[in-house]
Structure 1
Amino acid sequence: MTTPLADIAALALRADALSAGGCAGMDAATLMQLTDLLGQIRRKTDAAQAPVAAELARQSRPELGSDSLAKKQGFRNATTLIAATTGTTIGDAVRIVQVGEGTAPRMQLSGVAGPAKHPQVAEALAAGRIGAPAAAAIISLLDRVAIRAGAAAIAQAEQTLVEQAPGLTLNDLNRVLLRAEAWLDPDGVAPREEQLRADRYLHLHEDRTGMLVFSGKADPEHAAPIKAVIEALVGAELRAARDHEQAGGAAGLGAGVGLGAGEPDAVRRSIPQMQLDALAQVCAHLLDCDDKNLPTGGATVVVRLTLDDLQNGTGSATIDGLSAPISVSTARRMAAAGGIIPCVLGGDSEILDWGRRKRLFTRTQRLALAERDGGCAKCGAPLTHTHAHHINWWTRDHGNTNLNEGVLLCDSCHHQIHDSGWEIRITGTGIDAEVWFTPPVWIDPQQTPRLGGRKRYSFAA
């Protein structure tokens, strides 16, 4: 019986012979043969490395203290030693140790070597049918549910998984493992779902170029409609592009489908770009939807530009809630879409002063306050976190519901102003007015007014 290292050497010699003339121009059959040999070498190398990693971990146990092998070599523990000497990650080093410990023979009390904890994984690894990543994934699952599933079910699952793993990518194997875990531990599905729901999130932030960056995770319940809708829209665009090409039109992935003819991306878009466009399309539809059951809360996109820029096509425009300016051509295109309101400065506008006829600020007034304040006028919180408040209270001070007596505040700043004695003053009129906050004496003895609202961020060259 040959050793793993001897197997690796024999495979390496065959691979070296095939690649002696270089890979450029290699025929398909030879190229596939070489690829298969390199895959076998990698899996055999994993099989050879696993017991070495396990022994390194055993001789570097924390209880050995300064006598630990890793510490003698100048490393904190076995995994950092392995990662540094093999040029891999700490995570990969942890996995190879896990594989080594799960597939090595176990010493019995009698001193005789017994079977490995996971003998079928050990046999498949030694034979080169699976590599360390697949072995680690299978072992991790089996160890996680071992107590709840029982020995018989674990053995059956191990055999099935080892038979299925060869030829699968690690992503595909993980999908199989999710279903195997549900079979081994059916009572654990609901608690796992609760944890996934608790771990869901979506982070949004602008980078310094003005791009909005998304980062998030969705549990299956929330992910299903998101994935289904985006894939349906992208699929429809791909089919339309294919039909257009077959009919004699210009070729191109997603060429112009759902895009204006003048858009820069109308020639060709990648799949990730199409997925982002699909998400934007869904959100734009919601903005323009009259369904009162949708909890959009009157959300509106406001594009702001001057009348001169609109007419002449010069200068730039801005979008409420985003920092980066946009071209006038983009502003014009957005203004033509539903659910997007162009705020043209210097042009005619709707009457905004409702006096005492209405207690609550109208949607039009809120749009004007949003244009003036840009969010919470005091702290800058997003528009969606604010409410329109009377500077002079409606009941106590008989305040009016108009722009010069209204201000957008988040709940925190609203309570702070009322509880701590801040004063708010509006200078000027309409959306060009300025909002000033004067602190109480105990905060600033000089009571120096502080400019708030959008004017804090204005820039005039």
Structure 2
Amino acid sequence: MSKLTALHEAMTRLDEAWAGVDDPNDLSREQLVAVSERIALVQRRLDAVHVEVAAGVARESRPELGAESLAKQHGFRNPATMLAATMGVSTGDARRLIAVGEGVEPRRDLIGARLPAKYPVIRSSLEAGRLSAQAAAMIIALLDRCRIAAGAERIAEGERVLADSAVGLGLDEVRKLITRAEAWLDPDGVEPRDEELRSQRTVTIFERGGMIHLNAKLDAESGAPVVAALRGYVTAAFAARKDAVDPDAPDADRRTVPMIQADALSMFCAHALGCTAKGLPLAGATVVVRMNLEDLQAGTGSALIDGVDQPVGAGVVRRMAAGGGVIPCVLGGGSEILDWGREKRLFTRAQRLALVERDGGCAMCGLPPEMTRAHHIRWWQRHRGKTDLSNGVLLCETCHHRIHDNGWDIRIDGAGVGARVWFIPPPYVDRDRTPRLGGRARFDIAA
């Protein structure tokens, strides 16, 4: 049976399933299923025709034809852009269609003799209407990718297995099948591929319109704990919702899954900030909310959160305070010593919080507090410097090296959290060595 005959037969079966119905809304459930299956069959039959046509367009548009290229004669750079415009799809989709066509069409050797298709099993599956062009493209891309590593015999076996296993699967399921098949075809490539993916892991953070945006791309090793924790929290939230006495109560949990995941991430990070377990490298990171006490009690005014530019209202501060994790701007209380002299080499947690209040983060470049460390201005060992607030400053690693390597000096005027930090440039930067104000004072707005 030719491909066009098979396509005509599929369309006839679609007509039969639709027979006697003028309005699609009148289709019964059984008819909806039947029509849907017939439409899918027509599409797959059409795919079998289309991939051969795509291969023909590519063949008649090959670069060596020059100006006689079919695509160029019709005003296109290459066959992919021509097919994309004709079909109304992306250039990438058109390239994949061409790749399928070239993979399943019969070939010829150097003297013109016909050779079997590169992937004859996939060709048969397309002709039989068992595979879509999209699924075939995914399988062919995998087989081409693993061809050298796996060898011809294993590739042929993989083609048979994948062509059979992909029947009846959606494209998302085919992707999962492809992922597992790649590890089977090229087991030695799994570990290098894991390392490559791990090197691409990223989390970016930015603030816009009062919202904190997180964009994450994680490899399997890094992402698995994140996925497990978030999904576990969502599952628990839905279980609690199911067990609620009155699910229609005004205070019932009506959060969406993305909202629950956002709450889970916030809760996990808040827990980590308060965790005292050893081995958690947070460099003393703490959420610090700054607000006038009278405004907080009255529920008026606004507050600032370290590391966030957008001011927040009193209601937000109250909710954060109710959940813990808020450090009030009252430092040195409870008989806690903020100046240790030579008794301690490392700055204490309370001293660091005082430095955060004074410096706001890196006193030189303004990076948030969690990206800084407390450094001695006069070094502990070389200069016998004291571990006091007047001898401490928050700096990121880059600014710390810049200051020590390039001859900058630091001066602290005043005492406690109200002191001011000044950076004095070296003579080659400023002949007069004019002090430059650093720390939070640069951004404070006088009332």
TM-score scaled by length of structure 2: 0.89
> What residue is the counterpart of 2:247 in the other structure?
250
State the alpha-carbon separation in 1 of the partners of residues 63 and 384 from structure 2: 73
Aligned in 2, Cα 1:192/1:419: closer, same or farther, shift over 3 Å? closer
- Equivalent positions of 1:31-430 (< 5 A) are 31-109=32-110, 111-199=112-200, 201-244=201-244, 248-251=245-248, 267-338=253-324, 340-344=325-329, 351-395=337-381, 397-430=383-416
- 64-73 vs 218-227, greater mean Cα deviation: 64-73
Query: What SS class does the counterpart of residue 362 from structure 2 fall into?
Result: coil
Q: Deviations over 1:324-358 (max 9, x none)?
A: 222222212222334x1322369968553334443
Q: How far did 1:159 drift? A: 1.7
**Equivalent pair of 2:3/2:127 in contact (CA under 8 Å):** no
Q: How far did 1:28 drift? A: 2.2
Q: How far did 1:155 drift? A: 2.2
**Equivalent pair of 1:390/1:399 in contact (CA under 8 Å):** yes
Aligned in 2, Cα 1:181/1:394: closer, same or farther, shift over 3 Å? closer
Q: How far did 1:15 drift? A: 8.6
Structure 1: gaps of 5 or more residues: 256-260
State the alpha-carbon separation in 2 of the partners of residues 456 and 65 from structure 1: 65
Paired residue total:
445
Which residue identity does 1:353 align to in structure 2?
Answer: D
Which residue identity does 2:172 align to in structure 1?
Answer: N
Aligned in 2, Cα 1:310/1:103: closer, same or farther, shift over 3 Å? same
**Equivalent pair of 2:283/2:373 in contact (CA under 8 Å):** no
- 273-282 vs 349-358, greater mean Cα deviation: 349-358
**% of aligned pairs identical?**
49
Q: How far did 1:360 drift? A: 2.3
Q: Deviations over 1:239-285 (max 9, x none)?
A: 221122xxx42159xx9xxxxx6xxxx63111122222222222222
State the alpha-carbon separation in 2 of the partners of residues 131 and 178 from structure 1: 18
State the alpha-carbon separation in 2 of the partners of residues 59 and 220 from structure 1: 44
**Equivalent pair of 1:302/1:320 in contact (CA under 8 Å):** yes
State the alpha-carbon separation in 1 of the partners of residues 267 and 73 from structure 2: 60
State the alpha-carbon separation in 2 of the partners of residues 23 and 444 from structure 1: 80
Structure 2: gaps of 5 or more residues: none
Q: How far did 1:92 drift? A: 1.0
Aligned in 2, Cα 1:64/1:366: closer, same or farther, shift over 3 Å? farther
**Divergent runs of 4+, >6 A:** 345-349
Which residue identity does 1:28 align to in structure 2?
Answer: R
Q: How far did 1:138 drift? A: 0.8
Q: Deviations over 1:361-405 (max 9, x none)?
A: 211111121122222111122323322122334455554433233
**Equivalent pair of 2:425/2:433 in contact (CA under 8 Å):** yes
Aligned in 2, Cα 1:173/1:417: closer, same or farther, shift over 3 Å? same
Question: How much is the aligned-residue C-alpha RMSD, in angstroms?
Answer: 2.9
Q: How far did 1:408 drift? A: 0.8
Q: Deviations over 1:4-56 (max 9, x none)?
A: 38726962872995696443464322322332233223323322221222222
TM-score scaled by length of structure 1: 0.86
